[in-house]
Amino acid sequence: MKPFENLTGAEKEALYKSLREEFDRVCGKKLKLNMARGKPGKEQLDLVSGILTALTKPEDCECDGIDARNYGNLSGLPAAKRLFAEILDCKPEQCFMGGSSSLQLMYDLVAKAWTHGLLHSPQPWCREPKVKWLCPAPGYDRHFAVSKSFGMEMIPVPMTPQGPDMDLVEELVKDPTVKGIWCVPKFSNPQGFVYSEQTIARLAGLKPAAPDFTLIWDNAYCVHEVYGEYLPFPDILSLCAEAGNPDMVYEFASTSKITFPGAGISVMAASEANQSYLQSLLTFQIISYNKVNQLRHVRFLKDKAHTLEIMKQHAEVLRPKFDCVLDTLEREIAPLGLASWEKPKGGYFVSVNTLPGLAKRTLELCAQAGVTMTAAGATYPYGKDPADSNIRIAPSYPGLEELAQAIEIFCLCLKLAALEK
Ligand SMILES: Cc1ncc(COP(=O)(O)O)c(C=O)c1O
C-alpha cells in the first residue's frame, strides 16, 4: 500500500468505502475486546500462584524473630526490606514496606505534604497559595490524577527517549512554587523509555528553589524486561545524596506486576531522615501493613536473582503479545505513514503517536467496533493531548488471539480516521 498522502482523491474514496465495509462487518460481530489497562494476563497470574501456598502453617509465619501474623513493625518485615533493597540497590533501612499498592504510598506522600508538610517544608502545602508540579508527558494517567485531585497546577514537560526534557526541568524548578515531578525512570509508562545516565544525574543534582521539592521516582517497572537481559539501573537515593540532595527523592515500587496486582506488596525507599519523619506521621494512621503478605512474598520471591527468574517467565508470556502488536503496526500502518511508535524493551505498554488530530477519532471508532482502549488524552495532564496524537496500547491482558483481533481492528480504525480527515 502507498502512503496515504500519495493517494489520489479517487483512490482515497475507494479505499475508504472498502475499509468502511470491513468496519461495518466488524461492528456486526459485537466483539468485546480490551487493550486498555496494563494488567497481567491469566497465564501470568497462574505462573506466580505458588505464592498462595508460600505460608501454610503457623510456624511458617515467623521471620527474624517476628511473628508476621501480629501487630507491630510499622515499617515492615526486615526480610521484605532486604528483598526490596536488593532489587532497588538501596539500603534496607531506607525501605518502608506498604500495602498492596505503590500508588497509595505516592498519594499518601502527597497527602502528607498537603496536611503536614514534608521534612523540609516551611509549611503544609495546603497553606501555599499555589503548588505546581512537573508532569513529563506522555506519562501515567494516575499520577496526573493524583496531582489534579489536590488542585496542583500541572506543567507538562516533553518526554524524550532519554527522559524528561532536562533543560526545561532545570529552568522550571527555579520557581519556588514548583514542588515536584513525577518520574517513571525505567520502561516509562507509556513509551517504555529508560532514562539515560545523564538525565538521572541531572535529576539527582537539581537545584530547586523549593526547599521541599519532591522527586517521585516511580520505579514500577524496575525488573520488567520483556526483551533481552536485565538492565541494571542506578540507585537514585545514593545519587541524590552524593549530589547534596539526600532528602529530595522518594522511590516507589511494588510487586503488582511480579505477583498479583492489588494483592502484592509495595515499597517506598527514602533517606533515613525522611523515613523517620514520615513514620512519625504514619504511626497515627496504621499499626502495621499486612506482614503476612510481605512474608509470603519474601518466601516466594526469595531474592533478586530468583525474582529476575520469575520475571523471565513473565517475559516469555508477554513477548509474543508485544510482538503481535508491533508486527501488526509495522505491517498495517508503517507503509502508510499514519503513525510512529516506540519499540519498548520492557514495561507494559506500546505508545503510538498518530499524525496530529487522529487519536480521539481512532479510539471512538475502536469503541464502536467493541475494542476498549485507554482514553485519548489520558497520557497528558488534564487529559489534554495538544496534538491529539498519543495512544497507549496495553497488550498484556487479552489472550493472544483476542489481542491479534483487537490490534487489527485498531489499525483499521486508524486508517479510517485518517481517511475521514
Ligand atoms: C508507572 C506506574 N506506577 C504505578 C502503578 C500502580 O502500581 P501499584 O499497583 O503498585 O499501585 C502503575 C500501574 O500501572 C504504573 O504503570
Q: Work out the mean pLDDT of the chain and round it to a whole number.
A: 97
Q: Which of 301, 325, 355 is the last residue of a domain?
A: 301
Cell digits of residue 12: 482515497
**What per-residue confidence (pLDDT) applies to 112?**
98
Q: pLDDT class for 239, splitting at 50, 70, 90? A: very high
Q: Are 208 and 133 in contact (CB under 8 A)?
A: no
Same domain flag for 333 and 264: no
- Give percent of the chain above pLDDT 70: 100
Same domain flag for 72 and 208: yes
- Tell me what the mean pLDDT of segment 290-319 comes to: 98
- Tell me what the mean pLDDT of segment 229-242 comes to: 98
**What per-residue confidence (pLDDT) applies to 5?**
86
- SS3 at position 244: coil
Q: For residue 102, give the ligand 1 atom closest to its CA.
A: 10
Q: What is the CATH number of the domain that holds 18?
A: 3.90.1150.10
Task: Inform me whether the pLDDT recorded for 1 exceeds 80.
Answer: no
The reply to whether ligand 1 has any atom less than 6 angstroms from the CB of 218 is: yes
Q: pLDDT class for 282, splitting at 50, 70, 90? A: very high
Q: pLDDT class for 335, splitting at 50, 70, 90? A: very high
Examine residue 370 and state whether it is found in any structural domain, yes or no: yes
The reply to whether ligand 1 has any atom less than 6 angstroms from the CB of 219 is: no
Examine residue 55 and state whether it is found in any structural domain, yes or no: no
Measured in Å, residue 342 CA sits from the centre of ligand 1 at 20
Q: For residue 253, give the ligand 1 atom closest to its CA.
A: 10
**What per-residue confidence (pLDDT) applies to 345?**
98
Examine residue 268 and state whether it is found in any structural domain, yes or no: yes
Q: Are strands 62-63 and 266-270 parallel, antiparallel or unpaired?
A: unpaired
- Tell me what the mean pLDDT of segment 260-265 comes to: 98
User: CA 387 to CA 148: how far, in whole Å?
Assistant: 21
Helix axes 304-332, 291-301, angle to 10 degrees: 80
Give the total number of structural domains in the chain.
Answer: 2
Query: In angstroms, what CA-CA distances link 288 with 68, 135, 207, 282, 283?
Result: 10, 32, 35, 9, 8
Task: Inform me whether the pLDDT recorded for 28 exceeds 90.
Answer: yes
Q: Which of 254, 293, 348, 397 most suits a substitution to test ligand 1, by most atoms within 8 Å of the C-beta?
A: 254
Examine residue 232 and state whether it is found in any structural domain, yes or no: yes
Tell me if the pTM is above 0.85.
yes
- Tell me what the mean pLDDT of segment 128-156 comes to: 98
Q: pLDDT class for 37, splitting at 50, 70, 90? A: confident
Q: pLDDT class for 173, splitting at 50, 70, 90? A: very high
Examine residue 139 and state whether it is found in any structural domain, yes or no: yes
Same domain flag for 245 and 371: no
**What per-residue confidence (pLDDT) applies to 215?**
98
Same domain flag for 271 and 315: no
Examine residue 197 and state whether it is found in any structural domain, yes or no: yes
- Tell me what the mean pLDDT of segment 277-301 comes to: 98
Same domain flag for 283 and 347: no
Task: Inform me whether the pLDDT recorded for 226 exceeds 90.
Answer: yes
Same domain flag for 312 and 292: no
Measured in Å, residue 103 CA sits from the centre of ligand 1 at 6
Examine residue 193 and state whether it is found in any structural domain, yes or no: yes
The reply to whether ligand 1 has any atom less than 6 angstroms from the CB of 103 is: yes
Measured in Å, residue 209 CA sits from the centre of ligand 1 at 29
- Tell me what the mean pLDDT of segment 51-69 comes to: 97
Q: Give the torsion through C-alpha atoms of 281, 285, 287, 291, to 10 deg.
A: -100
Same domain flag for 358 and 293: no
**What per-residue confidence (pLDDT) applies to 336?**
95
Half-sphere exposure of 358 (CA within 13 A, CB side): 22
The reply to whether ligand 1 has any atom less than 6 angstroms from the CB of 266 is: yes
Q: Which of 260, 279, 301 is the last residue of a domain?
A: 301
Examine residue 54 and state whether it is found in any structural domain, yes or no: no
Q: What is the CATH number of the domain that holds 87?
A: 3.40.640.10
Phi then psi for 136, rounded to 5 degrees?
A: -55, 130
Note down the domain range covering 67: 61-301
Q: Which of 301, 333, 360 is the last residue of a domain?
A: 301
Task: Inform me whether the pLDDT recorded for 375 exceeds 80.
Answer: yes
Measured in Å, residue 328 CA sits from the centre of ligand 1 at 27
Q: For residue 262, give the ligand 1 atom closest to its CA.
A: 9
Q: Return the residue whose CA atom lies nearest to atom 2 of ligand 1.
A: 220
Same domain flag for 86 and 31: no
Half-sphere exposure of 222 (CA within 13 A, CB side): 27
Same domain flag for 231 and 334: no
Same domain flag for 282 and 225: yes
Same domain flag for 290 and 317: no
Measured in Å, residue 219 CA sits from the centre of ligand 1 at 9
The reply to whether ligand 1 has any atom less than 6 angstroms from the CB of 216 is: no
Same domain flag for 31 and 178: no
**What per-residue confidence (pLDDT) applies to 2?**
80
